[in-house]
Amino acid sequence: MSILVVGSVAFDSIETPHGKRERCLGGAATHFALAASFFTDVRVIAVVGDDFTAEHEAVLTRRGIDTRGIEHLPGKSFHWSGSYLKSLNDAETLNTELNVFETFQPKIPDAYADSQFLFLANIDPVLQANIRSQMRGVKMAFGDTMNYWIDDHRENLLKVLRGLDGLLINDGEAKLLAGETNLVRAAKAIHALGPKTLIIKHGEYGATAFFAENVFGADRTHPFRAPALPLETVVDPTGAGDSFAGGFFGYIASQGEMTPAVVKRAMFYGGVMGSFAVESFGTERVQALTRDEIDARFAVFEELSRLE
């Protein structure tokens, strides 16, 4: 089933211990869509400027991604500059230019109206709420957010959360959102805000899914933990979380519904796509990926975590 994703399509200037890239294709919706495209049909809502060329668009369309919802405006695309020289675990933002995103009023093409899965990638919760209200009929809506929106736009974010079936965030974001240092209690607090499925990402340690009682029934509320692959070399962490989300939600959409077995495999696929994303700068690795490589790495994840 089709996923509609809304989020940034952007250019990133990135500095890591492995080198530098100026204005490579990035953005949460880009990384999400590329990862999800290996599992299901993906449609993108975003806004770009004159600097987004046919060649950039082809990176998406070559993977079968529907880009009719990417609006082209005069001006420059969103541009983020960041450095991982101090730590590969935390990006230091050097500069953020919203550019055409500043006045973005998302419109949903008619061709997208029948999308059954909705993913609200990390953008202003006002835009997330706007899209959510235009897509009331979806079967399942998941989203992402970050510290900035949790801290400074909490009221707007809380409105979005009430309309989400699931949320994918990291440890620090979960604790900040819940005002709670224990992850189990943080998960309960976040369930109460709306998302009954909560995926907390632990970076190099994997991810945990927490389920409220009404997801799979009161007798199936225990969490699930998926591993991350220990990697000897991380070239560029940018987009790892969005690629995780794309693999995770792409697999769920491909199965049409979320059973315990589906969500567990989805978390493995999330980890698989995140592990590829960090192997090269920007979208380089994921755009060159094959389904065979994905399946082979899925087997490595199983080997990594399965009792014999």
Number of residues that bind a copy of itself (CB under 8 A): 37
Instruction: Please report, as residue ranges, which positions from 156 to 185 form the binding site for a copy of itself (by CB under 8 A).
Output: 181-185
DSSP 151-183: HHSHHHHHHHHHT-SEEEEEHHHHHHHHT-SSH
- Rg, C-alpha atoms of the chain: 18
Q: Does residue number 69 form part of the binding site for a copy of itself (CB under 8 A)?
A: no
**Contacts of range 84-87, beta carbons closer than 8 Å, 24 or more positions apart:** 84/14, 84/15, 84/16, 84/17, 84/236, 84/237, 85/15, 85/16, 85/17
Part of the chain binding a copy of itself (CB under 8 A), chosen from 47-55, 71-79, 106-114, 297-305: 297-305
The dihedrals phi and psi of 77, each to the nearest 5 degrees, come to: -70, 160
Part of the chain binding a copy of itself (CB under 8 A), chosen from 1-9, 76-84, 103-111, 222-230: 222-230
Part of the chain binding a copy of itself (CB under 8 A), chosen from 36-44, 52-60, 190-198, 227-235: 227-235
Q: Does residue number 218 form part of the binding site for a copy of itself (CB under 8 A)?
A: no
Part of the chain binding a copy of itself (CB under 8 A), chosen from 25-33, 74-82, 286-294, 300-308: 300-308
Q: Does residue number 230 form part of the binding site for a copy of itself (CB under 8 A)?
A: yes
Beta-sheet strand order (sheet of 42-48) = 66-72, 42-48, 3-6, 117-120, 140-144, 166-170, 197-201, 207-211, 224-226
Residue of 277, 270, 279 whose CA lies nearest to 298: 270
Report the C-alpha gap between 284 and 251 in whole angstroms: 21
Instruction: Please report, as residue ranges, which positions from 190 to 209 form the binding site for a copy of itself (by CB under 8 A).
Output: 202, 204-206, 208
DSSP-derived 3-state class of residue 15? strand
Residue 55 or 308: the one with the smaller Cβ distance to a copy of itself is 308
Q: Does residue number 232 form part of the binding site for a copy of itself (CB under 8 A)?
A: yes
Q: Does residue number 86 form part of the binding site for a copy of itself (CB under 8 A)?
A: no
Q: Does residue number 304 form part of the binding site for a copy of itself (CB under 8 A)?
A: yes
Tell me which residues touch a copy of itself (CB under 8 A): 88, 181-185, 187, 202, 204-206, 208, 210, 222-227, 230-234, 260-261, 264-265, 268, 300, 302-308
